[in-house]
Every structure is written in structure tokens, then in C-alpha cells.
Structure 1
Amino acid sequence: MLDTLAALPFWQAFLALFASAMVRSNGTYWVGRGAVAGWQRYRGRHGELTARAEALLRRLGPFAVTLSYLTVGIQTAVHLTAGVVRMPLRWYVPAAVAGSALWAVLYATVGLAVVQAWLAAEAGAWWGVAVVALALVAVAVAGIVARRRRDRSPVPQATAS
């Protein structure tokens, strides 16, 4: 499937990816709107993830929806939470369109290039192996940096009375 997508011209790949992102995110949003009763059970099992999604939505509003397309792991929780808290469609839809377009551009360029490199690596091309190795190193470094920043949270200082 991905090799077929990678063979398409950019604009066709972009449209296919954009449509899939819009269907997925809006479907998740509407599941959230319709499944408020089940939310408590889901939240009980995924408390930390849903708490992060709720905090992100409270802090950033519709920008959280757009930015969620750049994340892995919290994206679905943000869209589901947006539905559960009944974010108005006049805010959600433009944010979802912008995020879907951003995701489609990134995936149609860099993402498909990595897939093509992976396929070339499987076929034995040395440059494919190099590109895949560089991509994996970049992901690992980004993960380490993100974890260190998160762990460096400010420590509250005791005040003398």
C-alpha cells in the first residue's frame, strides 16, 4: 500500500493522506461526542493519557488539535477528548483541516521518502540502509531530548516563614 502511495505524484499522495487523516480524526471526534458514558471507563484505564489530552486542550484549545498531528501516542486521545468535551465544530474543523494538511505534507514528503528508503534497504541498496539508519537515530535523539526536558521540571522551593 505504502509503495503504491509513494509512486503517486505529490498532489495525489497529499490528497489521499489528507482525506485519510480527516476521516480518522473526525471519526474519533464524533466517537468522543457520542460516547460520553463510556469515557469514564476509558479514562479509568488510560488516566494519564486522557489527563494529558485534557490539559493540552484546556491550555491550547484548538491549537492542541492541530499540534496533535505532529505527535505519536496522544493524537487519538486529543481528538477523542475534543469530542467528549464537545469542542465547538467552528473551532475543531478548522484545526483538524490545518493539522491534516500539515500531516499530509510531512508524510507525503519525508514520510514516504523514509518508506522508499526502507524498501530500498530491504532490496539491498546501501543508501536506503543509510537513510533508514539516520531516521532511526533522529527519532532516538528526539525521544531522549524530550524525556530530559520533561524530567527537568522545576522543583518547588520551600519558603521560610
Structure 2
Amino acid sequence: MTLAQVLQGYGLDGMPVAVALLCLFVIVLARSHLTYWAGRGVARGARYEGEHRHGPAWWQRTVDRTARLTSTPAARRGVALVHRWGPVAVTVAYVTVGVQTAVFAAAGLVRMPYLRFTLASLPGAVAWAVIWGTVGIGAVWGALNLATGSPWGLVVLGAVLAAVAAGVITAARRRTTAPAEAAAVDEPASSGSR
């Protein structure tokens, strides 16, 4: 009996379920910790910039972009959750949709101690891996199999993907044009008062 025969039928595409769950656990833990350290880097860079107020033009553009990103509603919501709930917000964020990245980055922004963040991450990462390694992936593959089982299912799947892409593009354009339009409206008023 070969190793492939032994592994066949044990889990997802021949992979034992325990190995799949461990892989998902490591992936989500790496993602959350990288996001945490990115938040810590932003906090440190902002503190440095506030103290020194100098640097090349590319650095100033980076600081401006980072300030815009950290002032988004999602970032403010993440910081508020971390301030209110602390490590519990980090644990619960793993099983939510829409605030995961904001909470992980906010934990870094408010400089939550790394050991506390890690201890809060472990149960959340386990829950995320179990949910996606069992029910989540099964639901996604089931939906794809149903959609691709008939030509009409494939058409509906394509339409849904196109609608999602259009929504994402529209939202991104609105976010980028709204500040520019606000600046254009304010500029003539300020130039007339000089």
C-alpha cells in the first residue's frame, strides 16, 4: 500500500483533516501577527514623524497615506473595539467578518503587549481554522459544485462575481474621488479670501 493510498479519503483532497487544520491555523496566525506588527510599525513611524517632522518627499507621502488609512471608519471601529474589550476583541475578531484586519492592526496601533496579543490570538486562530477547515471550505466547494453543475449555474456564478467586482471597484473609486472633490470645493473659497 502506497502513502497516497493511505492518505486517500482521510480529509481534504487526500490530506488528513488534522494537517489541513494545522495549515489553516498557521496561515491565519501568521496573517494576524503580520497585521499586528504592521500596526506597531505605523504607531512607531507616527511617533517618530511627530518628533522629527522631516524626511524626503516619498516619506511624507507614505505618512500621509498611512494617516488616511488609519482614519477610515473600519480603523476607528477596530481601535474602539480594542480599547473597549482589549484581548477579548482580538479573540472574537477571528470569527467575525469585516473587522478582523482592523482589530489586529488596532492592537498594534494601541501597542497592546505582544504576549497578550499572542495569548488572545491562539484560541481565535484555532476557532477560525476549525470553522474554515470543516464547514467553510465544504460550503464553498458545495456552492461551486452546484453552480458549475449546469450551464445556468455557471452563468449565475459569473454574474455574481461580476457584480461583486463592480461593487468593489465602485467603492474604491468613491473613496478616492471624495477627498479630491472636497479639496476642490474648499480651494476656491480659500483663494477668494486672500
Q: TM-score, normalised by structure 1?
A: 0.68
Say which SS state the counterpart of residue 37 (structure 2) adopts: helix
For 2:12 and 2:74, locate their aligned partners in 1 and report how far apart those are by CA, in whole Å. Answer: 33
Percent sequence identity over matched residues? 41
Structure 1 residue ranges without an equivalent (≥5): 130-161
Q: Per-residue displacement from partner, 1:99-142 (whole Å, max 9, x unpaired)?
A: 111100000111111122123214428xxx8xxxxxxxxxxxxx
Equivalent position amino acid for 1:51 in 2: R
1:6–1:112 CA contact under 8 A, matched in 2: no
**Alignment size in residue pairs:** 120
Within 5 Å, give how 1:11-160 maps onto structure 2. Answer: 11-36=18-43, 37=46, 38=63, 39-44=66-71, 46=72, 48-124=73-149
Q: Per-residue displacement from partner, 1:36-64 (whole Å, max 9, x unpaired)?
A: 224533223x1x21221111111111010
Structure 2 residue ranges without an equivalent (≥5): 1-10, 47-62, 154-194
Between structure 1 and structure 2, the one with the greater Rg is 2
For 2:16 and 2:148, locate their aligned partners in 1 and report how far apart those are by CA, in whole Å. Answer: 23
Equivalent position amino acid for 1:78 in 2: V
Segments of 4+ in structure 1 off by > 4 A? none
Q: TM-score, normalised by structure 2?
A: 0.57
For 1:32 and 1:105, locate their aligned partners in 2 and report how far apart those are by CA, in whole Å. Answer: 27
1:6–1:116 CA contact under 8 A, matched in 2: no
